[in-house]
Amino acid sequence: MAKRKTRTPEEATRDPASMALLECACRLDVETCFSRADTLVPCNIGSQGLCCRNCAMGPCRLVGRHDRGVCGATIDTIVARNFARGVAAGASAHSDHGRDLAYTLLEAVEGHAPDYGVRDPFKLVEVAGYLEIETDGRSVEEIAHDVAIAALEEFGRTHGKLGYLKRAPAKRQQIWHDVGIEPRSIDREIVEMLHRTHVGNDQEAEHILDHAMRCALGDGWGGSMLATDLSDILFGTPAPVLTDANLGVLREDMVNVVIHGHEPTLSEMIVAAALDPELIEYAESKGADGIQLAGICCTANETLMREGVPLAGNFLQQELAILTGAVEAMVVDIQCIMQGLAPVADHYHTELITTSAKAKIEGATHIEFDERRALEIAKEIIRRAIDRFPERGDVSIPDLHNPMVPGFSHEYIDYALGGLYRGSLRPLNDAIMAGRIRGVVANIGCNNTRVCHDFLHNYVVTEFLKNDVLVVETGCGAIASAKLGYMTPETAMKVAGPGLREVCETVGIPPVLHMGSCVDNSRILTVLSQMATEGGLGEDIADIPAVGMAPEWMSEKALSIATYCVASGAYVIMGARNPIAGSETVQQILSAGWESKVGGKLEFVTDESDECACEEIVRRSLEHIDKKRAALGLAEYDPSKWGRSGDQRMPDLLSLPLEERIEAVYGAPLS
Amino acid sequence: MEKADIDRASVDIDRASVVLDVPILWADHHVLKVRDALTNLEGVEDVYASSAWKQVLVSYDSAKTDSATIEKALAEAGYPVGEGEVPMLVLPGEKLRDPKWEVLGLRLTETNQADLEMSGEFRRY
């Protein structure tokens, strides 16, 4: 058997800061996820969804002449069950995150968590409206209490359906009702998904997958949407803020604390602790100039959007951050935290600190987070980090970071487009109808070591911008674009096509909008819903010229996100890996089958060559966008119609001598 | 040659102009200040200042003033020629946001019915 090729740093990542640190890892012989991926060949059977481990008669690996498991389960059943279980796991992760935020809000208003409170009373009133809670004449605390209780009840509703479903366009709600996939409660659909996929239960692929949609909808329009709303109530609804992205944000002269994971609850307190004058003084007493926070993954996205805490990097950069030698503490909470962090930290002075009651890591220091004494714990963590500063050895921080403007909550987009008195998405709809914006792509999801880090994100986003497609992003996809420098308004001038450039120039927004963490994909659902009801782009999310994608996905949460987006009417493309490759039938169900049933479809586009996969993702996306434009009766996309606005003339004008330029601008020479 | 023509020729000979790059001339109020600094200068006949181009075009009587004097006046007014750059108004970490955002009040994330009613049927498809 041929020996598996070890990739060079340039082949493993497209991010220059990561390349530099991978070279450092090779030099120091430190193992990372990149080197493990090179030596650990993925199981060819499991990766196609063909291995069933759901009972002790197996595992049954359906390859060769075997087309049924011991119990008789077919390939289609097993592939569908494996996919559905992934969706359930992803939905559980997002939703449990949402539940914890509801408890935090409840504890805050009941006085048990004094460091928290309602930071955005306007959002509280908005959410109370969705949850049918009376607000007139009531105090913020009373409303917040009822909102927290109502949110918690959504997880275990005893009858009816999820309250937030009514936020979808009417036509979409009718489709869910007709297909019978309205989630009854968040937890129930996850539990039922596990039940159905237990040995000897639901054994019809299409039926299993229908429930996967129901389960995922409970995530998108339930757990995730509640997580977003409750975070906004507790910590503020994001609005644009200027900050930086990539490992170069770490400081050689400061105590560096990296926050990593997914919840804003502790990290918001760490931000407060890092600003404490006493702790800053303590850091100075140890020889540092101050305390620098930086984030990884979605904890990063949460504090980035609200507090402007810079991004250190995305999922595949978590070990690399420690490899800089400049991180005193890496503080982690939940989800996407590699166990490989502990052995990397052992090479350095870095203390890996786990904080969630749900997630311990062998070799890490566990300081369990308790909302009731949140700031006290945060200060203890920062103090420990400061104590490590004198132990720091050689550092190698790549001098690479780019400015970025994140913070585009759906409320802020409304405000940016409609102004103070009349928030509206109408200008966006108008721009799509006119053809300045060809369509919208939501590029989301993870990194995956099986493809070149950030390459797929960067490639597809660049192509979409050139083709006048507005890109909205969350999660690690958003961090990839931020590192590339695409999240500034100036990017539109350099990269975007003529129509998109005109719109971005007029509004003053970047052509790639950072909308938050992975639970904040619910913000994208809200924007799409409003676009559908705004008029001009049909009556449903499925009518809108839009595509969702996760070209470098790896987590089960990504499967849940993809599935709820499809069940909401979107076309979703996933790259990197095809977990249903083992069954042509299941692939058909998720694609043509779901399209005829709910208007959205899920397709996996993979290729030995990352370039070929990207080209195909872009081709299919633009084809879909143009198909939807044609179905709406909109003008065919024609970039030659746009780009004659002021910005386009600017290079020509600047090339003229000033006196001629004045004449060109004013139509007459200066007297 | 008529006398009037001779006078005009001498005027044209004395009239000169200069284009000066002023990188920190980036806002409208800078235009006013630059004009104030130059228009009362003896010999200056016309001033065109542009915050878009960050340049100043000065027409002057070369018998009465010169480019160096104009540059000196600009520098004294706080607009040195060829020096400085457009400042970054907000630096990373400053957390300055649109102040209106914090007091925006009720946020609309639903379509405004009045908009729909005003827009007519053509928007539907």
Under DSSP, is residue A425 helix (H, G, I), strand (E, B) or coil?
coil
Rounded CA separation A267/A299 (Å): 7
Residues 129-148 of A with CB under 8 A from B: none
What the block records as the tokens of A260 is 């990593």
- Tell me: pLDDT of A650 over 90: no
Select from A414, A520, A649, A654 the residue whose CB has the most chain B CBs within 10 Å, as the one to mutate to test that interface.
A414
Q: What is the pLDDT of residues A4-41, one digit of tens each?
A: 578 999 999 999 999 999 999 999 999 999 999 999 99
How many Å lie between the alpha carbon of A393 and the closest alpha carbon of chain B? 27
Rounded CA separation A568/A542 (Å): 7
A489 interfaces chain B, CB cutoff of 8 Å: no
How many Å lie between the alpha carbon of A538 and the closest alpha carbon of chain B? 6
The predicted pLDDT at position B115 comes to: 67
Which residue in chain B has the smallest CA separation from A244? B92
- Tell me: pLDDT of B10 over 60: no
Rounded CA separation A468/A193 (Å): 40
Q: What is the pLDDT of residues A535-549, one digit of tens each?
A: 889 999 999 999 999
Are A511 and A465 contacting, i.e. CB atoms less than 8 angstroms apart?
yes
Residues in A touching B48 (Cβ below 8 Å): 662, 670
B3 interfaces chain A, CB cutoff of 8 Å: no
Residues of chain A with CATH 3.40.50.2030: 243-391, 407-637
Q: Which candidate from A237, A307, A633 shows the least CB-CB separation from B95?
A: A307
Q: What is the pTM of this model?
A: 0.90
The predicted pLDDT at position B9 comes to: 47
Residues in B touching A403 (Cβ below 8 Å): 92
Are A507 and A417 contacting, i.e. CB atoms less than 8 angstroms apart?
yes
At A373, phi and psi to the nearest 5? -135, 55
Q: Do A424 and B93 touch (CB under 8 A)?
A: no
The predicted pLDDT at position B110 comes to: 66
Please identify, in words, the CATH class of the domain defined by A407-637. Answer: alpha beta
pLDDT category at A2 given cuts 50, 70, 90 is very low
The predicted pLDDT at position B108 comes to: 58
Residues in B touching A310 (Cβ below 8 Å): 92-93
Q: Which candidate from A242, A310, A411 shows the least CB-CB separation from B107?
A: A411
Q: Which candidate from B53, B93, B107 shows the least CB-CB separation from A126?
A: B107
Rounded CA separation B92/A274 (Å): 16
B86 interfaces chain A, CB cutoff of 8 Å: no
The predicted pLDDT at position A137 comes to: 95
Q: Which candidate from B91, B98, B124 shows the least CB-CB separation from A239?
A: B98
Residues 35-74 of B with CB under 8 A from A: 46, 48, 53, 55, 57
Specify the amino acid at residue A99.
R
B91 interfaces chain A, CB cutoff of 8 Å: yes
- Residue A655: which H helix or E strand, with range? none
Residue A522 sits at the vertex; the CA angle it makes with A521 and A528, to the nearest 5 degrees, is 95
Per-residue b or e along A556-573, where b marks 16 or more CB atoms closer than 10 Å to that residue's CB: bbbbbbbbbbbbbbbbbb
How many Å lie between the alpha carbon of A292 and the closest alpha carbon of chain B? 10
What the block records as the tokens of B98 is 């649109």
How does the average pLDDT of chain A come out, rounded?
Answer: 94
Rounded CA separation A124/A118 (Å): 8
Q: What is the pLDDT of residues B75-108, one digit of tens each?
A: 999 999 998 887 777 777 777 777 777 777 666 5
- Omega cis (within 30) before A59: yes
Rounded CA separation A77/A340 (Å): 34
Are A74 and A68 contacting, i.e. CB atoms less than 8 angstroms apart?
yes
Q: What is the pLDDT of residues A176-227, one digit of tens each?
A: 999 999 999 999 999 999 999 999 999 999 999 999 999 999 999 999 999 9
The predicted pLDDT at position A341 comes to: 97
At A630, phi and psi to the nearest 5? -65, -40
Q: What is the pLDDT of residues A78-87, one digit of tens each?
A: 999 999 999 9
Residues 365-384 of A with CB under 8 A from B: none
User: How remote is the C-alpha of A469 from its chain's centroid?
Assistant: 19
Select the CATH number that applies to the domain covering B3-76 from these four: 3.30.70.100, 3.30.300.30, 3.40.1500.10, 3.40.50.300. Answer: 3.30.70.100
The predicted pLDDT at position A670 comes to: 65
Residues in B touching A250 (Cβ below 8 Å): none
How many Å lie between the alpha carbon of B3 and the closest alpha carbon of chain A? 24
pLDDT category at A494 given cuts 50, 70, 90 is confident
Rounded CA separation A205/A77 (Å): 5
The predicted pLDDT at position B1 comes to: 46
Q: Which candidate from A237, A420, A424 shows the least CB-CB separation from B115?
A: A424
- Residue A353: which H helix or E strand, with range? strand A351-354
Select from B108, B113, B116, B121 the residue whose CB has the most chain A CBs within 10 Å, as the one to mutate to test that interface.
B108
Interaxial angle between packed helices A556-567 and A521-534, expressed in degrees from 0 to 180 and rounded to the nearest 10: 10
Which residue in chain A has the smallest CA separation from B119? A535
Residues 296-325 of A with CB under 8 A from B: 307-308, 310
Q: Do A122 and B124 touch (CB under 8 A)?
A: no
Q: What is the pLDDT of residues A32-71, one digit of tens each?
A: 999 999 999 999 999 999 999 999 998 999 998 999 999 9
* Residue ranges of domains in chain B: 3-76
Asked whether this complex has an ipTM greater than 0.90, the answer is no
Q: Do B94 and A242 touch (CB under 8 A)?
A: yes
Categorise residue A615: left if φ over 0, alpha if ψ from -120 to 50, beta otherwise.
alpha
Residue with tokens 């340049």: B55
- Residue among A335, A283, A331 nearest A97 (CA): A335
A659 interfaces chain B, CB cutoff of 8 Å: yes
Residues in B touching A423 (Cβ below 8 Å): 107-109
Which residue in chain B has the smallest CA separation from A249? B92
Q: What is the pLDDT of residues A309-329, one digit of tens each?
A: 999 999 999 999 999 999 999
Which strands, in side-by-side order, build the sheet including A546-550? A512-514, A469-473, A439-443, A546-550, A571-574, A601-604
A422 interfaces chain B, CB cutoff of 8 Å: yes
B121 interfaces chain A, CB cutoff of 8 Å: no
- Tell me: pLDDT of B63 over 60: yes
Q: Do A422 and B112 touch (CB under 8 A)?
A: yes
Residues in A touching B91 (Cβ below 8 Å): 242
Q: Do B109 and A526 touch (CB under 8 A)?
A: yes
Which residue in chain A has the smallest CA separation from B91? A242
DSSP state string for A127-150: HHHHTT---TT--HHHHHHHHHHH
What the block records as the tokens of A71 is 């119990």
Are A526 and A220 contacting, i.e. CB atoms less than 8 angstroms apart?
no
Residues of chain A with CATH 1.20.1270.30: 75-235
Sign of the CA dihedral A89, A95, A99, A105?
positive
Residues in A touching B98 (Cβ below 8 Å): 239-240
Residues in A touching B55 (Cβ below 8 Å): 658
Would you call B105 exposed, middle or buried from its count of C-beta atoms within 10 A (0-12, 13-18, 19+)? Answer: exposed
How many Å lie between the alpha carbon of A657 and the closest alpha carbon of chain B? 9
Q: Do B101 and A415 touch (CB under 8 A)?
A: yes
* Overall size of chain A counted in residues: 671
Q: What is the pLDDT of residues A586-624, one digit of tens each?
A: 999 999 999 999 999 999 999 999 999 999 999 999 999
Residue with tokens 């008195």: A421
The fold adopted by the segment(s) A75-235 is Substrate Binding Domain Of Dnak; Chain:A; Domain 2 (1.20.1270)
Select the CATH number that applies to the domain covering A243-391 from these four: 3.40.50.2030, 3.40.50.300, 3.50.50.60, 3.40.109.10. Answer: 3.40.50.2030
The predicted pLDDT at position B86 comes to: 79
For the residues A565-570, what does the mean pLDDT come to?
98
Are A628 and A569 contacting, i.e. CB atoms less than 8 angstroms apart?
no
- Tell me: pLDDT of B111 over 70: no
Q: Do B125 and A632 touch (CB under 8 A)?
A: yes
What the block records as the tokens of A212 is 């996967």
Q: Do A659 and B92 touch (CB under 8 A)?
A: no
A55 interfaces chain B, CB cutoff of 8 Å: no
Bridging pattern class, strands A402-404 and A243-245 = antiparallel
Q: Do A535 and B123 touch (CB under 8 A)?
A: yes
The predicted pLDDT at position A353 comes to: 97
What secondary structure letter does DSSP report for A605?
Answer: -
